[in-house]
Structure 1
């Protein structure tokens, strides 16, 4: 695809975040990187650019991320069919991926203003509500994808099918603990420690259901009807515009002078296994980050067709062992969440970047 930033709709229909990306100097590295990536992508649906510029901006950005993620991991793409979103192959192993995210909904009360006001007034209950709502939204996304029954398609039948999800339903979604994803998928709540090589669960308890207000859904997604057709779940909360901006800037794509600082919490790969704070200055030529950082693959223990383990390096992989216990691997550095503050400087003028 070419000219992805050339408007093909009227100005009043442009997504405001797309418009900020297209014109904001502080996001110039992200824009240039997205142009570079999408130049190698095919528009199988015929409406990729239109959706990227309007109502489907976040969904299409997620697909751009996944395309780059698989490409960087040595996969090739078969674009013969346009459903599911990706058909990838490496070393004789091929599988399908359907991408989805928890988009904003009209009645979501957790606006940025609402969350910031609650934080200012120290309303602790809001944090619990946010987490419960988070599970509901992510569970809804996965359940809706089950209804598509992609495994019944002739070209998918007999191949592993993976659902790739990312949270984007409100301002705080990418900062919430992804341990709730593990809990929802397996019906197990746990704390973990590490011996330096493996992730070792401890204090494991079973979770039967998840509640938010009057809504209640069963836990253990991998035991729901039809989920035996899903081989694994790919998850990350590290795929937003800030990710593209950091990756573009550290690789020297932009000539803008940008002060970019990233701070967050990461897994402590020691027996203590407590989250640790980290801080990074993003500098051109100083490569600190890659596309695998912050990615998890959760293997379905009940899958009819398993996804082979170890297809990717330096990601978190989780599965159940023969005793039904959670186990897996963790990379040396795994960020749970992070915040990036950019400031673009051009011709002596500066523009402060927004949290997008």
Structure 2
């Protein structure tokens, strides 16, 4: 599988792919990604296209494949769907890759304007992150319920959703706060400051709704009820990006 030989004109290539394939710039990184993809079967013939034109979804899928191999798992990518049939020392499970992307009309993650960071609150970052995570997780669950669960190689195996966020320029600042809110409704620690300036934790705050727009909320706390009972686990990583520091340095310079 040749990921890096361009098969599309420059105007159709993703910004990250253009960056990686700049001559003489990222040869070591290219070799690492090639090693990750070693043994990966492109069962629907679309991975190379996605890697060159959409990038993040394909990068995340290759990253997961490499992680499972590193953990000593045997990974079967020969089935068209779902993404991975994983065999481990603890048993077999199904893993499906998912990402979050920016909503229509929002700034994409690769347009990092650092002047905007000072004007963007953590609360706003987390709200958008939670909205997009909830959407992507539910979308994959519906696919499992309506399609995947009926496939012979999926039946009676745990189903795991593996998700990475790319919904806004500073998505990596969310840490685990948004996914914990989406899965468990957990919002924040409540603390009290005494006269000596010492903080004491007095409780925790939970909120099972996130405002998508005025007058319309989405429900979160997906693992606190039976709605997603067929999802065994969610794997989340907000740092699985290509050379984030390089992109940031480029943007600053």
**TM-score of the two chains, using structure 1 as the length reference:** 0.60
SS in 1 for 2:217: strand
Cα distance in 1 for partners of 2:153, 2:163 equals: 22
Q: Count matched residues.
A: 238
Alignment partner, residue 71 of structure 1: 69
Distance change in 2, residues 1:63/1:203 (3 Å): same
Alignment partner, residue 145 of structure 1: 140
Alignment partner, residue 156 of structure 1: 154
Cα distance in 1 for partners of 2:250, 2:111 equals: 18
Cα distance in 1 for partners of 2:60, 2:202 equals: 33
**TM-score of the two chains, using structure 2 as the length reference:** 0.82
The runs of 5 or more residues in structure 1 that have no matched partner are: 193-200, 243-338, 344-351
SS in 2 for 1:210: strand
Deviations 1:155-188 (A, max 9, x none): 2111100000011011111112322211220123
Cα distance in 1 for partners of 2:211, 2:113 equals: 20
CA contact (8 A) 2:161 2:231 kept: yes
SS in 2 for 1:216: strand
Correspondences of 1:12-27 after superposition (within 5 Å): 12-23=11-22, 25-27=24-26
The alpha-carbon deviation at position 226 of structure 1 amounts to: 4.2
Distance change in 2, residues 1:22/1:341 (3 Å): closer
Cα distance in 2 for partners of 1:101, 1:65 equals: 12
Distance change in 2, residues 1:114/1:42 (3 Å): closer
CA contact (8 A) 1:111 1:170 kept: yes
The runs of 5 or more residues in structure 2 that have no matched partner are: 191-200
CA contact (8 A) 1:74 1:90 kept: yes
Alignment partner, residue 44 of structure 2: 45
CA contact (8 A) 1:184 1:221 kept: yes
Alignment partner, residue 236 of structure 2: 235
The alpha-carbon deviation at position 74 of structure 1 amounts to: 0.2
* Range with bigger deviation, 102-111 or 213-222: 102-111
CA contact (8 A) 1:129 1:212 kept: no
Correspondences of 1:266-305 after superposition (within 5 Å): none
The counterpart of 2:81, out of the listed 76, 80, 83, is: 83
Alignment partner, residue 273 of structure 1: none
Of Structure 1 and Structure 2, the greater strand share is in 1
The alpha-carbon deviation at position 111 of structure 1 amounts to: 6.9
Alignment RMSD: 2.8
Cα distance in 1 for partners of 2:22, 2:154 equals: 40
Deviations 1:41-79 (A, max 9, x none): 11112111112111x311000011101100000001123
CA contact (8 A) 2:107 2:168 kept: no
Cα distance in 1 for partners of 2:150, 2:221 equals: 23
Alignment partner, residue 58 of structure 2: 60
CA contact (8 A) 1:101 1:165 kept: yes
* Range with bigger deviation, 62-71 or 152-161: 152-161
Displaced runs of 4+ in structure 1, greater than 6 A?
110-114
Cα distance in 2 for partners of 1:112, 1:53 equals: 15
Alignment partner, residue 206 of structure 1: 206
Cα distance in 2 for partners of 1:21, 1:102 equals: 22
The alpha-carbon deviation at position 104 of structure 1 amounts to: 2.5
Alignment partner, residue 7 of structure 1: 6
Q: Does 1:185 align with 2:183?
A: yes
